[in-house]
Amino acid sequence: MSTSSQPRIFITGATGELGALVLDQLLATVASGEIAVGVRVADDDRARKLAAKGVQVRVADYDRPETLATAFAGVERLLFISSNSLDRRPTQHRALIDAAVQARVGFVAYTSLLHADVSPLGLAADHRATEAMLAASGLPYALLRNGWYTENYMASVAPALAHHAFVGSARDGRISSASRADYAAAAAAVVRSNDDLAGRVFELAGDTAYTLSELAQELSHQSAETVPYVDLPMAEYRSALVGAGLPADVAALLADSDAGAAEGALFDEGRQLGALLGRPTTPLASSIAETLRALGR
């Protein structure tokens, strides 16, 4: 699992969907020997698939602080992908930042949340806490404040077609989402950059915003089905998500996020993501088309 040169770039969460996309973006321009990735389990299939790409695979478990400083040894640039744990995240992130300090990592890019400093979303609290830890750590760092993944809504396309209604709680809030691959490309650009990006705060969002009514119209148009948007009060939307089989905490998080979207929490018109990418962000219509193709429609 090792390569001859010493890796200088490290990606955490490389087994996740965002991390995998970042790695593939990086490998297009950076030699594999310059990259190390973090996994929780060193000898499973997922780790072996990563090693087959020529990158160094190291155990970096946010729940086992002793693995982290060792994993970060010699790393110059660290992409810190936020944990997906809803209950242990601040403790996990504390451990990661302490380890980065101990290993004297030269630069950290952290995947935060759009407008985390003022966002009303329940999700924002952990990101605010992590941003404060980074500020107090003395580490040089940049914040990648990612907006909503379009994929979050694409997960609702199949049920919307089945029930002839796209259900949400965002009223007429405008949502500037972008594809996960767009955010991954931006993260790759920042972590491989030779520019001094310490201190930068990137508010990353799609170029074009839409309401959920507009999303439903586009879905209706492309699928040739009538799929109206049906707005529900937050509690009813949460119950509908639980009824559809989501765990209660995830349903609560999504309903809270839609309620935040109604207040504009997922909207941004700064176009910093497109600027980082040097191209337009992925339009909603393309994401819908891709989702329908995957559903065989």
Ligand X SMILES: NC(=O)c1ccc[n+]([C@@H]2O[C@H](COP(=O)([O-])OP(=O)(O)OC[C@H]3O[C@@H](n4cnc5c(N)ncnc54)[C@H](OP(=O)(O)O)[C@@H]3O)[C@@H](O)[C@H]2O)c1
Residue ranges that bind ligand X, judged by CB under 6 A:
13, 15-19, 40, 60-63, 81-85, 92, 111, 146, 148-149, 152, 180
Q: Which is nearer to ligand X, 220 or 291 (CB)?
A: 291
CB of 147 to ligand X, least distance (A): 6
CB of 66 to ligand X, least distance (A): 13
Strands 201-204, 166-168: pairing is unpaired
Q: Which is nearer to ligand X, 15 or 56 (CB)?
A: 15
CB of 164 to ligand X, least distance (A): 26
CB of 63 to ligand X, least distance (A): 4
Q: Which is nearer to ligand X, 119 or 220 (CB)?
A: 119
SS (H, E, C) the chain: CCCCCCCCEEECCCCCHHHHHHHHHHHCCCCHHHEEEEECCCCCHHHHHHHCCCCEEEECCCCCHHHHHHHCCCCCEEEECCCCCCCCHHHHHHHHHHHHHHCCCCEEEEEEECCCCCCCCCCHHHHHHHHHHHHHHCCCEEEEEECCEHHHHHCCHHHHHHHCCEEECCCCCCECCECHHHHHHHHHHHHHCCCCCCCCEEEECCCCCECHHHHHHHHHHHHCCCCCEEECCHHHHHHHHHHCCCCHHHHHHHHHHHHHHHCCCCCCCCCHHHHHHCCCCCCHHHHHHHHHHHCCC
CB of 217 to ligand X, least distance (A): 22
CB of 77 to ligand X, least distance (A): 18
- Which tokens in the block code for residue 180? 């996960």
Q: Which is nearer to ligand X, 139 or 175 (CB)?
A: 175
CA distance 244 to 58: 37
Q: Which is nearer to ligand X, 146 or 282 (CB)?
A: 146
Q: Is the separation of the CB atoms in 79 and 12 below 8 Å?
A: yes
CB of 59 to ligand X, least distance (A): 9
Q: Which is nearer to ligand X, 91 or 223 (CB)?
A: 91
When CB distances to ligand X are compared, the closest residue is: 16
Q: Which is nearer to ligand X, 190 or 220 (CB)?
A: 190
